[in-house]
Structures are given as structure tokens and as C-alpha cells.
Amino acid sequence: MADIILVTGADGFIGSHLVEALLRRGHQVRGFVYYHPYSETGWLSSMPADLAEGLEIFPGDIRDAGRVDAAMAGVDSVFHLAALIGIPYSYHAPASYLQTNVLGTQHVLDAALRQKVNKVLVTSTSEVYGTARYVPIDEGHPRQAQSPYSASKIAADALALSYHLSFGLPVTIVRPFNTYGPRQSVRAFIPTVIRQLLSGAKVLKLGDLTPTRDLLYVEDTVRGFLALHQTDAFVGEEVNIASGKEFSMLEVLSVLQNIMGTDMKIEVDHSRLRPKESEVRRLCGDFGKIVRIGWSPSWSMEQGLRKTVVWFRRHDIHEKGHGTFRL
């Protein structure tokens, strides 16, 4: 029997791309998806038919320890991506972020320990660094909890590393920077801009355009996950997946308007502004660690944005709950 790889958050943006990549490599995948009463499976519902045979859908809730333990049965390795990720909502409901991101991660770690899983890859975020104190940001950069969301991820990362040091669990912390591409939530900056440009609106309603971000096209992020899955070099460590470049949101907007042939006026949407001290002003990652195992970014920002625009032109999507679903 082939080894089973468990992917939590398999129905989400990055998770669905990762599942597809694993299936294309011939792996058996168990996709842990957030339970919905109407059997919705997020982006996995659009999985190509030729790949679906290798995929087992496992509905549940990462906050349910028993369900997580059941999902871990017979698993060789696990990619843990399930999380609440919307930063704005974390200001209003911080407890839900602790329950999902910290307690949910503990459930994954406990189950992996009981089931003697051979490899555990826990997904972090560049938000744990907060505004850069120096660039490029390496894995030793101080952690700064500038939002309840980032605080929950800092805690989850620390908990995962403690399980390695305390119990010998083979954990690696995977820390992608700002991933974008097809299937991303329309609440994120790049899909928000594309969607407004496609709508024909006369004015773009956006938040602060001065912060910089290190942008990764989703295919590069997934390649990073796969590379880390194939090595034991970084067990017990944290590893950035980054491009080493930074672009302001205004620069990204300019490239998107050029790609789409538009030039619209901008209006500040105050609902999209973070509290002043919470805004992460600058992110630019150091990927010197992961390059040691042969990974490097392959997509330029403009190439990735062009692919993303093409996808959004072909798909009419809307928000439902905390996930993004295709109509």
C-alpha cells in the first residue's frame, strides 16, 4: 500500500494547489477539509478527474482532536495548512484564531506523535516577523505580534518546535512569504484589485498602498513545500520560502493596471486599513536556507500576475463564510 500524505486545509488556496501537485507526483493524498453540511470541498471540487482517484476527502474540524486523530491514522507525513488567515477579522474575534491556529496545531502535533508520523510540516507565515527590522529577513529575525492573527501563528510555531525538542517529533516549520495566484481569496489585495478592475468600476477602493511585500506565485510556494518534504535537512528548524524582492502595493497596482489596460482613480477604503501600530510596513525575505536544497523562485512578479489575471477572467467567484468557492 502506498504511503498516505495528509494535507490539512486541503480545500483552501495553497492547500488545493499542494494537493494537486502531490497527486501529480503519484502520492496518495488524504485531504482534511472543513466540514460543511452540503458536502462542499472548496477548490478540491474542481480537481481534474484524472487525479481524483488518488485523493481521499476527509471532512472535519481542526479544533476536534478526535477527528484529527482519525485523519492521521496510517499517515506517513502531514502538511498542516489549516488555519484562520484573515488579519482584519482577527481584530474582532481573536479567540477563534487561538482555537483554530494554536489548539488546532496542537491537535495535529498530538495526533502525529500518537500515530508515529515520519514527517510533520507546519505552515507558518511571514506575518510572524512583523515590520522588518532589517532586510532581507532571515529565520533569526525577531518575532513581532502586530495582529492577533500573527500572535496565534507565533504561538503555533513555538508549540510545534517544542514538540520536536520535547518529544522528538520530526517537525519542520515552513514559512512562505506573500503567496498569490489562482484561487486566492478575493479579500486579499491582488484578487481585490483584479476583481475591481474587471468589474468596470470607475474608482478603485483600496487600503494603504505604501507597505511592501515579498510576493511568491503559488507554484513557487508549492515547489518549496515539496522540496522540504523530500529532505530531512531542516527537521526541528524554520525555513523561509521567499523571493528576496519587495514591491509596494502601489507598484503591484501599477503592474496590474498595465496588464489589464486600465488607469482608474483610487479611493481609500478605510475598512481595509489596519490599526496604525498593527500594519506591517515592510517584508522582504531571505531564502538562503532553502536554496541549499535546490529551490529558488522561478516566477517574476509580472509573470505571476499575468497568470493570475487570466485565471480571474475565466472564473466568477464569491465569498462564502471564511472560504472562497467557485460558482
* Alpha-carbon span 13 to 109, nearest angstrom: 23
* Alpha-carbon span 242 to 136, nearest angstrom: 10
Catalytic residue among 34, 97, 129, 149: 149
Decide if 61 contacts 108 (C-beta within 8 A).
Answer: no
Is 149 catalytic? The answer is yes
Q: Which helix (H) or strand (E) holds 24?
A: helix 13-24
CA distances from 103 to 71, 98, 100, 107, 110 (A): 16, 6, 6, 6, 10
CA distances from 34 to 19, 55, 84, 111 (A): 15, 16, 11, 17
Torsion of CA 262, 214, 314, 266, to 10 degrees: -30
Residues with Cβ within 8 Å of residue 180, at least 6 apart in sequence? 188, 190, 191, 215, 216, 217, 218, 304, 305, 308
Residues catalogued as catalytic: 149
